[in-house]
Amino acid sequence: MKVLSGIQPSGQLHIGNYFGMMKTMISNMENSDLYVFIVNLHALTSVHDREKLAAGTLEAAADFLALGLDPEKCTFWVQSDVPEVCELAWILSTVTPMGLMERCHSYKDKVAKGIDASHGLFSYPVLMAADILLYQADQVPVGKDQKQHLEVARDVAQKFNNTFGETFVVPEPFISDTTAIVPGLDGQKMSKSYGNTIPIFLEGKQLKKKVMAIATDAIPVEDPKDPDQCNLFALFKLFATPERLQEIRNLYVNGGAAYGYLKLELLELISDYYAEARQKKAEYMADPEMIRTVLRKGAIRAREKAMVTLDLVRERVGLKY
């Protein structure tokens, strides 16, 4: 099975990215044909700073490698290194109904948050469909925020297949129930644009500051509380062992859950969880040429696959004359 997903290099990657997508991708390395890429062309819809984009691209790659992605066991590349994706995006845009695009909430949400309303931002889902269809992916692990984009990719694949004959695999999203929406410090979805993230590689005082800022209620310590309504507990679910999680659940239910102490415990869990990756990231960041070599090799492999699909697409639509 072909499993594919991408991530934007538009800031420090956070634990929502990790549990929503990166961890699933890394765990798929052994048993699937895995495609992982850094979507720098998508990031251009919100980042207009060349140094920031270039550095962010290398850093996102270092993050993935440090977290355990083995480039020998997958195809790992930077989106813009396979320019075929742009040609496919254009071809797909000619069969994408305007109504479908107008219904996409992520465009409206981003504009509401102050991102410039550009044509690229509007057609973002078509480029994403091209990302997926170019590699004939069967399954796409994502967080819930990408569900609608996956629906667009499926609709566009079906529309193309109906118009020009069976060409594309219609991809399935994979959204895990437990990590579909990782909450941020304030309980809303963790997202860079809400300023409520816990970056994966934060440590020491900075990490402490974030964890201590997790919003909690003002119910007295000894009173019972509902763990499933608590944002702090939701984060514990990601890091605590099942036994410890049950103990903490009991504290909530029976009274005695002291948020201050629990936050310090969570801080230690997060810090330990990423300790090895933090070390590895420092090593990768010290050798950017090595990261570039890995990505270049990945792009060569990705491009070979991309060209096969694009060749078929050109033939199907009549661009071969």
Binding-site positions: 8-10, 16-17, 131, 143-145, 182, 189-193
By beta-carbon proximity to ligand TYM, the closer residue of 84 and 131 is 131
At its nearest, how many Å lie between ligand TYM and the CB of residue 64? 11
Per residue, the 3-state secondary structure of 78-126, as one string, reads: EHHHCCHHHHHHHHHHCCCCHHHHHCCHHHHHHHHCCCCCCHHHHCHHH
Per CB under 6 A, the list member of 154, 189, 263, 281 interacting with ligand TYM is: 189
Fill in the per-residue mask, 161 to 180: x = in contact with ligand TYM (CB under 6 A), - = not in contact: ------------------x-
CB of 40 to ligand TYM, least distance (A): 10
> Which positions make up the binding site for ATP?
8-10, 16-17, 143-145, 182, 189-193
Comparison of 8 and 257: residue with beta carbon closer to ligand TYM: 8
User: Which residue in the shown chain puts its C-beta closest to ligand TYM?
Assistant: 20
- In the region spanning residues 27 to 86, those forming contacts with ligand TYM, defined by CB under 6 A, are 39, 42
Q: Is 309 within 8 Å of 135 (Cβ atoms)?
A: yes
Among 3, 17, 69, 154, binds ligand TYM (CB under 6 A): 17
Which residue lies nearer to ligand TYM by CB, 8 or 80? Answer: 8
As measured in angstroms, the least distance from the Cβ of 225 to ligand TYM is 23
Which residues, listed in sequence order, are joined to residue 75 by a DSSP beta bridge?
Answer: 35
Q: How many angstroms separate the CA atoms of 23 and 273, rounded?
A: 12
The two structure tokens encoding residue 127 = 């480029």
88 near ligand TYM, judged by CB under 6 A: no
Helix, strand, coil distribution of the chain in percent, nearest 5: 60, 10, 30
Neighbouring CB atoms inside 10 A of 30's CB total 9
Q: Which long-range contacts (CB under 8 A, 24 or more apart) does 89-95 make?
A: 89/123, 89/126, 89/127, 89/129, 89/130, 91/313, 91/317, 91/319, 92/126, 92/129, 92/130, 92/133, 92/156, 92/160, 93/123, 93/126, 95/156, 95/159, 95/160, 95/163
- Under rule CB under 6 A, which residues in 122-161 are in contact with ligand TYM? 128, 131-132, 140, 142-143, 145-146, 149
The residue from 38, 47, 134, 182 that contacts ligand TYM (CB under 6 A) is 182
Question: Closest by alpha carbon to 147, among 103, 112, 186?
Answer: 103
Q: Which residues bind ligand TYM (CB under 6 A)?
A: 4-8, 16-17, 20-21, 39, 42, 128, 131-132, 140, 142-143, 145-146, 149, 179, 181-182, 189-191
